[in-house]
Structure 1
Amino acid sequence: MTFKNKVVWITGASSGIGKSLAIALSQYDCKLILSARRTEVLEQVKSLCKQPEKVMVLPLDLAETDTMTPIAEHAISAFGRIDVLVNNGGISQRSPIIDTTIAVDRKLMEVDYLGTVALSKAVLPHFIAQQSGHYVVVSSLMGKFSSHYRSAYCGAKHALHGFFDAMRLEHDKDNIKVTLICPGFVNTNVARNALTGDGSKQTHQDDMTENGLDVDVFVKKMITAIQKEKFEAYIGKFERFGVLVKRLSPRLIHKLVMRSKVR
């Protein structure tokens, strides 16, 4: 597929992967809709895009699932159509299971899973009507195998794979594509913003994230995966091979992750 003349809607566009993706895609002569909670920050991202006049800012909060249908209608009316929905918005978590309140588990499911599902369902009738559409879902390698201190995050990301694999099957007849992007460690603020066991932010970076892929390098690989309409793309450094190890031997990936410095 090509991005030329397409309308691409990106959630979580105020920072990190979403921000970098918006700036990169603005070079492709497409129209962009940028969403996140903070309007003023989205406006800053818009100003960094090549053609700001082709960029619309549309604030949303993924936790407010009841608002997704009217927001989707607003997005569609902006440029007359949506061609690609990039479900990038979400939060992470860093805390032992024993110390993590159920409220944190619920928050991760509400934002990372249910918010994404609600928005995707709101756009689905439009994709069916135009007999085309592409869901790009930023999951994680933690949607394929798990690691310490990320139980709620892993649960939400695993759930995304189950839902969107079903979406791909049910709507193949409607020419609707699904690409699940699975990042490893990417140098963004995801760790700083991750929730701890009581729901407060971690606020500090961790070594593995700090030494992860540069976000602009990651986005280039992500764009290539979208253009190739891949079902899944595993993007990272050595950690991406964990998907293959898990497939070959769940016991071996358990041992390797236990020995790792991931915390």
Structure 2
Amino acid sequence: MKGNTNKIIWLTGASSGIGEALAYELSHKGYKLIISARNEKQLILVKEKCKYPENVAVLPLDLAGFSTVGNGVKIAIAIYGRIDILINNAGISQRSLIMETGLEVYEKLIIVNYLGTVALTKEVLPHFISKKSGQFVTVTSLMGKFGSPYRSGYCAAKHALHGFFDVLRMEHDKDGIDVTLVCPGFVQTKVAINALIGDGSSQNRNDTATEQGMPAEIFARKMIRAIEQKKYEVYIGGKEIKGIYLKRFFPNLLHKIVLRSQYR
């Protein structure tokens, strides 16, 4: 190993998808890792597949359990003595029309995707302030920059993350703290299969756009480059990235394009 063995990274949502791909790529580059998710057995499998499993610690964590997050942070810091980078990657998606979506589904999306991430970040923040360094990396979505049918609650939670972390960056620039917001487009993961529908159950099928998206390992490599360069905000995906610029300069045109495609 060489180059990054002095960096300690805590990665949430590491049991599958983007998080799993990030764990493999970060381990390959020599980072020391703490990997978290709800499924401890799957985390152990991910650890065993990492290049340097001896430098990967498993820490089960449920972001919906706010009362346990503080203790989780204490355990994480104690593993290696510090945390240098927190990658907020955990989250769930949605595929349902507003009229068909129960309020409890919106509540779950906000709790897991937004408030859980905020709770964890706030618990880590004093640690970063005390050592005058640290980097928060938060995986949002292109849907955090513009909307799409069937994703109303998901879009809302991702938009909220941008508001929170943009302000955190401003307030703690003086403390040597960096914030990187990563906005994925379509990536080949199980995010669509696990997405919530109107009654709160899983969709249990993939989307064509997700199936044809960027391979997770390629996405992970691009994301790691953005982290290492301490980018403020980065968009990673295919032609769907054009939606960012259409939203800014031609919002009416974006509206028509999204309605035609339905982003299913």
For the aligned pair, the TM-score class normalised by the smaller chain equals over 0.9
Partners of 1:261 and 1:151 lie apart in 2 by 13
For residue 59 of structure 1, what is the aligned residue in structure 2? Answer: 60
Partners of 2:158 and 2:31 lie apart in 1 by 29
For residue 105 of structure 1, what is the aligned residue in structure 2? Answer: 106
Partners of 2:29 and 2:207 lie apart in 1 by 34
RMSD: 0.8
Partners of 2:213 and 2:25 lie apart in 1 by 19
Q: Cα–Cα, structure 1 residues 3 and 161, in superposed 2: closer, same or farther, change >3 Å?
A: farther
Partners of 2:72 and 2:4 lie apart in 1 by 23
Partners of 1:231 and 1:243 lie apart in 2 by 15
Task: After superposition, give the CA deviation of every residue in 1:139-177 in whole Å (9 maximum; x if it has no partner).
Answer: 000000000100000000000000000000000001100
Per mean C-alpha deviation after superposition, the further-off stretch among 26-35 and 113-122 is: 26-35
Partners of 1:4 and 1:258 lie apart in 2 by 47
Partners of 1:213 and 1:174 lie apart in 2 by 36
Q: TM-score, normalised by structure 1?
A: 0.98
For residue 198 of structure 2, what is the aligned residue in structure 1? Answer: 197
Structure 2 residue runs of 5 or longer lacking an equivalent are none
**How far apart are 1:261 and its partner, in Å?**
4.4
Question: Equivalent residues in 2 for 1:131-170 (5 A)?
Answer: 131-170=132-171
Question: Equivalent residues in 2 for 1:224-263 (5 A)?
Answer: 224-263=225-264
In percent, how many aligned pairs have the same letter? 58
**How far apart are 1:4 and its partner, in Å?**
3.7
* Residue 22 in structure 1 maps to residue 27 in structure 2: no
For residue 125 of structure 2, what is the aligned residue in structure 1? Answer: 124
Partners of 2:152 and 2:55 lie apart in 1 by 39
The answer to whether the 8 A contact 2:5-2:30 is kept is: yes
For residue 14 of structure 2, what is the aligned residue in structure 1? Answer: 13
Partners of 1:101 and 1:209 lie apart in 2 by 25
* Residue 90 in structure 1 maps to residue 65 in structure 2: no
* AA matched with 2:201: S
**How far apart are 1:86 and its partner, in Å?**
0.3
SS at match of 2:138: strand
Partners of 2:197 and 2:175 lie apart in 1 by 41
The answer to whether the 8 A contact 2:185-2:240 is kept is: yes
Partners of 1:134 and 1:217 lie apart in 2 by 22
SS at match of 2:86: strand
Following TM superposition, the consecutive aligned residue runs of length 4 or more in structure 1 with deviations greater than 3 angstroms are: none
Partners of 1:206 and 1:235 lie apart in 2 by 18
For residue 68 of structure 1, what is the aligned residue in structure 2? Answer: 69
SS at match of 1:109: helix
**How far apart are 1:30 and its partner, in Å?**
1.7
Partners of 1:235 and 1:19 lie apart in 2 by 17
For residue 172 of structure 1, what is the aligned residue in structure 2? Answer: 173
Q: Cα–Cα, structure 1 residues 135 and 155, in superposed 2: closer, same or farther, change >3 Å?
A: same
The answer to whether the 8 A contact 2:148-2:262 is kept is: no
Partners of 2:89 and 2:110 lie apart in 1 by 14
SS at match of 1:59: coil
Structure 1 residue runs of 5 or longer lacking an equivalent are none
Partners of 1:11 and 1:177 lie apart in 2 by 18
Partners of 1:233 and 1:246 lie apart in 2 by 16
Partners of 2:142 and 2:31 lie apart in 1 by 29
Partners of 2:16 and 2:66 lie apart in 1 by 22
**How far apart are 1:89 and its partner, in Å?**
0.2
Task: After superposition, give the CA deviation of every residue in 1:228-258 in whole Å (9 maximum; x if it has no partner).
Answer: 1111110000001110110102212111111
